[in-house]
């Protein structure tokens, strides 16, 4: 959790002399977009379409010097590096668009937030950048807006008509990235929703003669066996029942199987919010019961003890090394060929089975909160002042049209082919050069900026394939569709909730308290829990809840 209060103080001191030059004088423009299209429609891959004459962006003059555009964005595959300096896209972007693109991979979560904050404090944000945060992207976007560090982007939608149709077609997302009646963010469509889930090593179950767990109590017994009964048969004490890392509030959503069995996933109660019970989940008596169960797991020593400090990449390295038997994981991070291959090479006879939501003592079986996460790009005010908005729009439009395939899949005929229906195929392609091979991960790191989730696109990104022992791996059918079939709670409204004024202090107290209980650093009793809740109230929890409830009521999302 980052110290926004400190950041604001540093910024206010450092930027006092320049904020007056960072004004937002652009007049708001019409941001009405086409109605959202269903993301799962079986449409063919998009074809490059010419922009209407009225809004066509002028081609750069042949003699003009290329415009330097710096772009910071998350990697599509965090384990892979950036595109090489001789990446063909760099050449095409320079030759076709008159732009020298300088792409920098920004780290995920806290490290990425720190990197952006440091650039903001120095008034040196890149021209175009993805918002990264540990809590809520909109909070960070708002902070940059309040400090005058980002530019309004309403006028850019008309500069990229095709991209606006495919990417910026959801008015709700535009509203979420708007302040004072103007849009300050460019929201990419939400990624594939409800894409994570609970999986278990089927070969370990078979080796120990166990059945798949259906309740938290059964999960604990299986996790004990996976930890202490040598499930891989190698004679070494080198396995843990459960692998995890912290991602999200409290202990994070990797423990959704436990908290979902009590109906209290995530920070806010959206399970029965319509019945007037909206508020912080920690106030629900079931959250206390879930914490008691969580402590049973940690006390039993069945969770990888490094989980509170592991990064996402470290967590994934461990299950690929065969140290984890049960986990909550993203379907693509688990089953996409480039991600699964290291595990398959190490354990060709192993397999992961998806599990349904665990059922708790009261019959609850919530899988998780569907936040419909989307990524937002912002344009720095500095870039706008330097007249770069048109070039940035030209770049983004190209990524959605002429450059779509190159950014998303590589070179046609080398990394992929198109069948007669316009769908991606690997027929006739060298497997080592295929767009989904490990070698092609760096050249397609920006594919998330181009993609917008048609079924053809998803099928191309996550095709079926054979594992080393000849078993067919079907990422979408076996895993994604199974995860999506579970009971998810709609939590899209979470993005609308403004942070408390003391966000850094509040979230730090919240997270540290939950973690202390979970790790046994603080004994969980009715008295200690009441003391913890009183501490939240002293930090304005009641006002935070009242404000959130009013915001959602005003938006028509609560009765």
pLDDT digits (tens, 9 = 90+) for 504-528: 999 999 999 999 999 999 999 999 9
Which has the closest alpha carbon to 195: 310, 315, 335, 312?
335
Quick one: which H or E segment has residue 191? none
Give CA separation, 208 vs 202, 203, 213, 325, in Å: 10, 9, 13, 12
Confirm if 313 and 245 have CB atoms less than 8 A apart: no
Residue 101 has pLDDT above 80, yes or no: yes
- Over range 214-232, report the average pLDDT: 98
**pLDDT at 7 (0 to 100):** 42
- Over range 126-133, report the average pLDDT: 94
Where does 349-401 have alpha helices with state H?
381-385, 389-400
- pTM above 0.75? no
Residue 29 has pLDDT above 70, yes or no: no
Task: Quote the mean pLDDT of the chain.
Answer: 87
First-to-last CA distance in the chain? Answer: 32
Residue 16 has pLDDT above 60, yes or no: no
Kindly tell me the sign of the dihedral angle through the C-alpha atoms of 431, 437, 438, 442: positive
Confirm if 531 and 557 have CB atoms less than 8 A apart: no
**pLDDT at 136 (0 to 100):** 67
**pLDDT at 59 (0 to 100):** 56
Residue 150 has pLDDT above 50, yes or no: yes
Kindly tell me the sign of the dihedral angle through the C-alpha atoms of 78, 80, 84, 88: negative
**pLDDT at 509 (0 to 100):** 98
The angle formed by the CA atoms of residues 139, 259 and 462, to the nearest 5 degrees, is 70
Residue 4 has pLDDT above 50, yes or no: no
**pLDDT at 135 (0 to 100):** 63
Beta strands 67-73 and 99-105 are parallel
Rounded Cα distance between 172 and 446, Å, is: 24
| Count of CB atoms situated within 10 Å of the CB of 274 | 11
- Over range 128-136, report the average pLDDT: 84
Residue with tokens 């939950």: 514
Which of 8-22, 153-167, 193-207, 523-537 is predicted with the least confidence, judged by mean pLDDT?
Answer: 8-22
Rounded Cα distance between 432 and 439, Å, is: 7
- Over range 91-95, report the average pLDDT: 98
Residue 137 has pLDDT above 90, yes or no: no
Q: Where in the chain is the domain with CATH 3.40.190.10?
A: 64-192+374-458, 196-371+490-554
Rounded Cα distance between 251 and 267, Å, is: 10
pLDDT bracket for residue 23 (50, 70, 90): very low
Residue with tokens 């708790």: 360
Beta strands 240-242 and 324-330 are parallel
Residue 530 has pLDDT above 50, yes or no: yes
Which of residues 190 and 430 earns the better pLDDT score? 430
pLDDT digits (tens, 9 = 90+) for 250-260: 999 999 999 99
Residue 321 has pLDDT above 90, yes or no: yes
Rounded Cα distance between 90 and 286, Å, is: 54
Which has the closest alpha carbon to 167: 495, 457, 497?
457
Q: Which CATH number fits domain 196-371+490-554: 3.40.718.10, 2.40.50.140, 3.40.50.150, 3.40.190.10?
A: 3.40.190.10
Residue 320 has pLDDT above 90, yes or no: yes
Q: Which CATH number fits domain 64-192+374-458: 3.40.190.10, 3.20.20.70, 3.10.20.30, 3.30.70.260?
A: 3.40.190.10
**pLDDT at 534 (0 to 100):** 98
Tokens representing 405 are: 């395939």
pLDDT digits (tens, 9 = 90+) for 31-73: 222 222 333 332 333 333 333 333 455 555 445 799 999 999 9
Tokens representing 486 are: 């579970």
**pLDDT at 87 (0 to 100):** 97
pLDDT digits (tens, 9 = 90+) for 467-486: 999 999 999 999 999 999 99
The angle formed by the CA atoms of residues 333, 73 and 503, to the nearest 5 degrees, is 90
Residue 306 has pLDDT above 50, yes or no: yes
């Amino acid at each position: 959790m980052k110290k926004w209060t400190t950041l604001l103080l540093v910024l206010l001191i450092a930027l006092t002399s320049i904020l007056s030059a960072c004004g937002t004088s652009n007049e708001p423009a019409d941001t009405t977009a086409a109605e959202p299209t269903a993301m799962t429609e079986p449409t063919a891959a998009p074809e490059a379409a010419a922009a209407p004459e009225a809004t066509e962006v002028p081609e750069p003059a042949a003699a003009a010097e290329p415009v330097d555009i710096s772009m910071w964005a998350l990697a599509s595959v965090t384990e892979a590096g950036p595109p090489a300096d001789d990446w063909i896209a760099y050449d095409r972007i320079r030759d076709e668009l008159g732009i020298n693109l300088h792409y920098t991979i920004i780290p995920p979560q806290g490290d990425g937030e720190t990197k952006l904050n440091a650039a903001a404090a120095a008034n040196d944000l890149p021209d175009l950048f993805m918002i990264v945060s540990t809590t809520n992207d909109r909070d960070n976007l708002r902070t940059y807006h309040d400090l005058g560090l980002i530019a309004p982007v309403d006028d850019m939608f008309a500069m990229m008509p095709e991209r606006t149709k495919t990417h910026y077609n959801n008015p709700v997302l535009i509203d979420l990235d708007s302040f004072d009646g103007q849009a300050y963010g460019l929201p990419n469509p939400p990624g594939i929703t409800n894409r994570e889930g609970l999986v278990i090593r089927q070969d370990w179950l078979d080796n120990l003669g166990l059945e798949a767990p259906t309740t938290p109590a059964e999960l604990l017994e299986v996790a004990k066996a996976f930890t202490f009964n040598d499930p891989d048969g190698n004679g070494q004490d080198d396995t843990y029942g459960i692998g995890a890392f912290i991602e999200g509030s409290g202990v994070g959503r990797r423990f959704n199987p436990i908290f979902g069995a009590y109906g209290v996933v995530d920070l806010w109660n959206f399970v029965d919010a319509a019945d007037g019970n909206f508020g912080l989940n920690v106030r629900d008596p079931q959250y206390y019961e879930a914490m008691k169960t969580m402590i049973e797991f940690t006390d039993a020593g069945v969770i990888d003890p490094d989980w509170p400090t592991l990064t996402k990449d470290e967590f994934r390295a461990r299950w690929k090394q065969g140290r984890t038997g049960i986990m909550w994981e993203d379907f693509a991070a688990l089953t996409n060929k480039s991600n699964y291959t290291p595990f398959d090479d190490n354990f060709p006879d192993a397999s992961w089975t998806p599990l349904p939501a665990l059922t708790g003592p009261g019959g609850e079986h919530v899988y998780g909160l569907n936040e419909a996460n989307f990524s937002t790009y912002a344009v720095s005010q500095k870039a706008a002042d330097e007249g770069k908005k048109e070039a940035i729009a030209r770049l983004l439009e190209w990524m959605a049209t002429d450059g779509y395939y190159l950014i998303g899949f590589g070179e046609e005929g080398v990394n992929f082919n198109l069948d007669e229906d316009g769908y991606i195929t690997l027929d006739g392609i060298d497997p080592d050069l295929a767009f989904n091979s490990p070698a092609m991960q760096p050249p397609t790191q920006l594919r998330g900026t181009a993609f917008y989730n048609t079924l053809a696109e998803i099928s191309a990104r996550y095709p079926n394939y054979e594992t080393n022992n000849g078993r067919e791996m079907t990422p979408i059918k076996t895993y994604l569709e199974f995860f999506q079939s579970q009971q998810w709670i709609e939590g899209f409204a979470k993005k609308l909730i403004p942070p408390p004024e003391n966000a850094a202090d509040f979230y730090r107290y919240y997270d540290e308290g939950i973690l202390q209980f979970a790790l046994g650093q603080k004994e969980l009793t009715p008295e200690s829990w009441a003391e913890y809740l009183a501490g939240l109230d002293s930090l304005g929890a009641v006002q935070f809840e009242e404000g959130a409830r009013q915001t959602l009521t005003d938006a028509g999302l609560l009765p």
